[in-house]
């Protein structure tokens, strides 16, 4: 294994297999009810936005992402100490989600997921994650995260990069 990258195969993202990391933003849930005299269905409180630290407040952004080559060489993950970060795709394409638990002095082994078309995710404050990673085509996202002052980006560079591969047929 010396010199070789450890291979991680991405799994399909589900609310259940992502629950130990963060929230999935999609309509495959039971927290919904009709509003506006039945003309609209509200899928309520799918995730919670956190905005702490000096002058912390929630902001809404658009990220126009460009695709990464696969297999992906993952050498860095990051986290946001003062706030959460949610990614909601504006096109029905899968993208890659990479997250890690913190093991005390930094991130543990990465966990990789491929979203279903249209599925969003919310990274709670301080969750280690890979940067926005579209697959195959440019993809735009609404991103809900934290504005304010103070350092809200911490990066960790792995001493041994990982190789992230997509599941068959992706
Ligand atoms: N840096 C930035 O705004 N984006 C990253 O946080 C990311 O998770 O893609
Ligand atoms: Ni981020």
The pLDDT of residue 3: 64
Residue 146 structural domain: 6-31+46-165
- Comparing C-alpha atoms, which of 24, 26, 5 is closest to residue 113? 24
Residue nearest atom 5 of ligand 1, based on CA coordinates: 131
> What is the number of domains present in the chain?
1
Pocket test for ligand 1, best of 78, 123, 129 (most atoms within 8 A of CB): 78
65 in any annotated domain? yes
Given a cut of 60, is residue 81 above it in pLDDT? Answer: yes
36 in any annotated domain? no
- Comparing C-alpha atoms, which of 84, 68, 86, 64 is closest to residue 76? 68
Look at the block and give the residue holding tokens 């249209």: 118
- As for the ipTM of the complex, it is 0.89
Averaged pLDDT of the chain: 97
The CATH number for 147's domain is 2.60.120.480
Per the CB < 8 A criterion, the answer to whether 128 and 107 are in contact is yes
77: Cα within 13 Å, side-chain hemisphere: 26
121 in any annotated domain? yes
38 in any annotated domain? no
Per the CB < 8 A criterion, the answer to whether 151 and 52 are in contact is no
- Comparing C-alpha atoms, which of 147, 156, 151 is closest to residue 110? 156
Q: Which residues line ligand 1 (CB under 6 A)?
A: 78, 85, 129, 131-132, 153
Q: How far is the CA of 2 from the centre of ligand 1 (A)?
A: 31
The pLDDT of residue 169: 81
Given a cut of 70, is residue 18 above it in pLDDT? Answer: yes
The pLDDT of residue 60: 98
- Comparing C-alpha atoms, which of 5, 23, 16, 13 is closest to residue 111? 13
Residue nearest atom 6 of ligand 1, based on CA coordinates: 131
Q: How many residues appear in the chain?
A: 170
Q: What's the pTM?
A: 0.95
Given a cut of 50, is residue 91 above it in pLDDT? Answer: yes
98 in any annotated domain? yes
**pLDDT tens-digit map of 104-127:** 999 999 999 999 999 999 999 999
């Amino acid at each position: 294994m010396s010199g070789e990258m450890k291979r991680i195969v991405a799994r399909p993202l589900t609310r259940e297999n992502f629950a130990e990391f963060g929230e999935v933003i999609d309509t495959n849930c039971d927290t919904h009810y009709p509003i506006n005299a039945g003309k609209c269905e509200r899928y309520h409180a799918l995730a919670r936005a956190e905005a702490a630290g000096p002058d912390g407040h929630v902001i809404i952004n658009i990220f126009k992402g460009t695709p990464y080559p696969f297999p992906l060489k993952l050498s860095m993950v990051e986290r946001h100490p003062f706030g959460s970060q949610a990614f909601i795709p504006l096109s029905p394409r899968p993208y890659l989600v990479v997250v890690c638990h913190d093991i005390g002095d930094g991130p543990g082994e990465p966990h990789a997921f491929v979203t279903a078309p249209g599925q969003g995710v919310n990274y709670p404050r301080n969750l280690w994650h890979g940067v926005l990673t579209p697959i195959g085509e440019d993809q735009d996202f609404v991103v809900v995260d934290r504005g304010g002052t103070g350092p809200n980006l911490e990066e960790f560079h792995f001493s041994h990069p990982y190789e992230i591969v997509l599941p068959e047929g992706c």
